[in-house]
Amino acid sequence: MRGARGRRRMAIPAVVSLIMPLTAMTASADAAVPRANGDWPTWQGDPLGSRFNPAEHTITPADVGGLKLKWAFAYPKEAGTPRSQPAVADGTVYFGGPDGKMYARDARTGGARWTFDLASVGTGPTQVQDGPAVSGGRVYFGDIRGYLYAVDQRTGRLDWATRLDATPGAVVTSSPLVFQGRVYVGVSSGENVAGKDHACCTFRGHLDALDARTGRLAWRYYTVPKPKRDGTWPNGVPKYAPSGGGVWSTPAVDPVTRTVYVGTGQNYTGSGGHFDSVLALDARTGRARWTEKMTDVDTWRAECASQDPADQKYCPNLPEGTALDFDLGAAPNLFTVGGRRLVGIGQKVGVYHVLDARTGKAVWRRQLSTPMPNGGLSGIQWGSSYDGHRLYVATYMAGPGTLFALDPATGHVLWKTPSPADGCTTGGAAKYPDICQRGFTPAVTTTPGIVWEGGMDGKMRAYSAETGRVLWSYDTMRDFQGVNGLPGRGGALSGGGGAVVSHGLLYTQAGYAFTPYPNDRGSALMVFGR
């Protein structure tokens, strides 16, 4: 597979003058770091993207087996599947629904605080697919129409809304990161799955920095050059190129060097730009300090997955075996080994890459699953975690998906735990053997001594950080009544984010792809405690 092992290009010297160990760092007050009381106010938990809550001591490896469902919030049955990872701050949990609303509920009881209806802005149906960020008295989040919102944290009143991209299919799945008065968020698109009659494609991915108070754009970094007319498709529809390079995931930022790091997706048409790349950008100006490309050729649209030769005429590069869909949809992790700042990121090719955060040069790479062309579904999807000792990385539909603990200095596998063999033969999943799969969709989360990861089999599990042994499991595919009065049923644990553990409670969205949904119940946010 040409390009699958990440030939590197376009790395330029960094302008960062100093890299300091983690213990020497001081983050600003609005950098969205986990507070001493254990809040989880943003998607990655802290600006470094660790997805680790060091202040969580209520749930321990010794007593995690006592977790029980405390409350659940059910969505309308017609709303679809949830993807918005919750944020917890000041006694309130904030989460977006597939029904086009942002909710604020009492974190311990599920009691209503406020609801914001996205239908009050713009036109057309919408959903929240990213996780909110809570900072400076506001809650920030995006939607599938390309809007970014800021609402009052206490009341849910709209402060501002900005449409970041009006290109057809533009979406915000990237969760915002707030740092030093700015909101950093990526924009991607589903334009490449719009069908053969669409004049594919004019979208180009970008990372934006906006004033957190006003929503005014401070800078924008495009991942590919501006598309131009480039002939026609076989059916005579105009073709444009280059395009794509969407930013699907949340960025991370080094508060000392003020560098923003983020991964990008594949091209839709053409071959130019920073697709399948890691970007290191100056947080103040948006100027690239370095970029590093992981896959040389990766131009993909929906027709690439078709077996019909007529469809495949619309898939650039397919005859050469280079239409791979091996984008970097996972969020980066920043960590320090031996005084050297490193940036790690997973790719849908199944490789976890670790680069020097100052230069972008490769330090080590670890192949964790066999690549799956035309979808990359065997690889690393949304995000990994670092608890100061180990990196924890999960693969998706990798036959089966597997949870790994890696040595951050070398990439050596310390332990690995496949998706449990009984996942599809026990609990609610046993009723659907034809569609149940053993895979790990969500991003990985950690607290002291525990790794949290949900499965496509509908099970939420806690694993020992030391050994990878399953310490606790809960089958979410059961019926229940939501605190909001609607009936709910869990299912495959949600992609787009992962579990959030804060103040002795575990929050997770249940009901995702490959989950059968009878028409009498909707998906749900589920909350566990002792």
In order, the DSSP letters of 247-287 are: --S--EEETTTTEEEEE---EEESS-SSTTEEEEEETTT--
Contact 342, 402 (CB under 8 A): no
């944020």: which residue's tokens?
87
Please give the Cα distance from 44 to 53 (Å, whole number): 10
Q: How far, in Å, CA of 189 to CA of 173, rounded?
A: 9
Q: Is 478 left (phi over 0), alpha (psi -120 to 50) or beta?
A: beta
Which are the contacts of 17, defined by CB distance < 8 A and separation ≥ 6? none
Neighbours of 176 (CB within 10 A): 31
Contact between 75 and 488 (Cβ < 8 Å): yes
Name the residue with tokens 């050297």. 340
Best CA proximity match to 212, nearest among 28, 443, 22: 28
pTM of the model: 0.93
**Distance from the Cα of residue 418 to its chain's centroid:** 21
Q: Which two tokens stand for residue 464?
A: 């020992």
Rg (CA), the chain: 21
- The CA distances from residue 504 to 51, 299, 327, 451, 462, in Å, are 16, 45, 35, 15, 14
Residue with tokens 């991964």: 263
* C-beta separation of 395 from 369 below 8 A: yes
Residue positions counted in the chain: 530
Distance CA 503, CA 106 (A): 13
List, edge to edge, every strand of the sheet that includes 459-464.
Answer: 445-447, 450-454, 459-464, 470-475
Angle (nearest 5°) at CA 39 between 36 and 40 = 125
Return the H-helix or E-strand segment holding 211.
Answer: strand 206-211
**Could you give the CA distance from residue 509 to residue 506 in angstroms, rounded to a whole number?**
10
Torsion angle, alpha carbons of 239, 245, 250, 255, to 10: -140
Distance (Å, whole) CA 377 – CA 234: 28
CA distances from 490 to 52, 151, 313, 514 (A): 25, 29, 40, 12
Q: Minimal CA–CA distance to 164: which of 120, 213, 122?
A: 122
Q: How far apart are CA 361 and CA 447, in angstroms?
A: 30
Contact in structure between 207 and 274 (CB atoms under 8 Å):
no
Element (DSSP H or E) covering residue 512: none
What does the alpha-carbon distance between residue 220 and residue 251 come to, in Å, rounded to a whole number? 14
CA 212 to CA 31: how far, in whole Å? 12
pLDDT per residue rounded down to tens, the chain (530 residues): 333 333 333 332 222 222 233 333 333 333 334 445 799 999 999 999 999 999 999 999 999 999 999 999 999 999 989 999 999 999 999 999 999 999 999 999 999 999 999 999 999 999 999 999 999 999 999 999 999 999 999 999 999 999 999 999 999 999 999 999 999 999 999 999 999 999 999 999 999 999 999 999 999 999 999 999 999 999 999 999 999 999 999 999 999 999 999 999 999 998 889 999 999 999 999 999 999 999 988 989 999 888 899 998 998 778 777 888 899 999 999 999 999 999 999 999 999 999 999 999 999 999 999 988 777 889 999 999 999 999 999 999 999 999 999 999 999 999 999 999 999 999 999 999 999 999 999 999 999 999 999 999 999 999 999 999 999 999 999 999 999 999 999 999 999 999 999 999 999 999 987 777 666 899 999 999 99
Q: How far is CA 47 from CA 137, 276, 369, in A?
A: 18, 22, 28
> Taking a C-beta distance cutoff of 8 angstroms, is the pair 135, 90 a contact?
no
240 close to 229: Cβ distance less than 8 angstroms = yes
Residue 24, judged by CB atoms within 10 A of its CB (0-12, 13-18, 19+), counts as exposed
Residue 5: predicted pLDDT: 32
Query: ∠ at Cα 157 (155, 158), nearest 5°?
Result: 150
Q: 22: which DSSP letter?
A: G
Tell me whether residue 516 is exposed, middle or buried, using C-beta atoms within 10 angstroms of its C-beta: 0 to 12, 13 to 18, 19 or more: middle
- Amino acid in position 520: D
* 245 in Cβ contact with 270 (< 8 Å): no
Extract the tokens encoding 407: 């040595």
